[in-house]
Amino acid sequence: MDATQPDPTWDAEAHSESVDIIEAAVGEVTYRVWGADWCGDCHDVLPDFFAALEAAGVPNDEIDVHEVDENKDGEGVEEYDVTLIPTIVVERGDEEVARFEESEDRPAARYLAQRLHDSDVMV
């Protein structure tokens, strides 16, 4: 999916706090991402998010990407109650610790980093 290609112009230094938090969670969480190339919000949100994951050194085996069709049908949609895209679910084991849906009030990396910081993952 093209929308998951990291934005090469994204400035990791300008977002170092988010990158540091995401990096601290490496090995602790899995990112499950639902999106589609036909989705404008996905193209607005996901390239920066994937640039943050890349800057934080999150390995590919800790990221599951699920592409959905125009009816928002796809793998894991029902199980994870995905109704908006993009949706990013952060899990620790089988427990959901954070969720970003479509257009929250701040960029996905910052939003999820704050949720990780506030969760017991960072203890």
Half-sphere exposure of 67 (CA within 13 A, CB side): 9
Could you tell me which residues come within 8 angstroms of residue 36 by beta carbon, excluding any fewer than 6 positions away?
A: 1, 3, 42, 67, 68, 69, 70, 85
Angle at 11 between CA 27 and CA 92, to 5 degrees: 20
| Rounded (10°) angle between helices 108-118 and 16-24 | 50
- The pLDDT tens digits for 16-67 are 999 999 999 999 999 999 999 999 999 999 999 999 999 999 999 999 999 9
Q: What pTM was estimated for this model as a whole?
A: 0.95
Summarised one tens digit per residue, pLDDT across range 78-116 is: 999 999 999 999 999 999 999 999 978 899 999 999 999
**Nearest of 71, 69, 110, 121 to residue 88 by alpha carbon:** 110
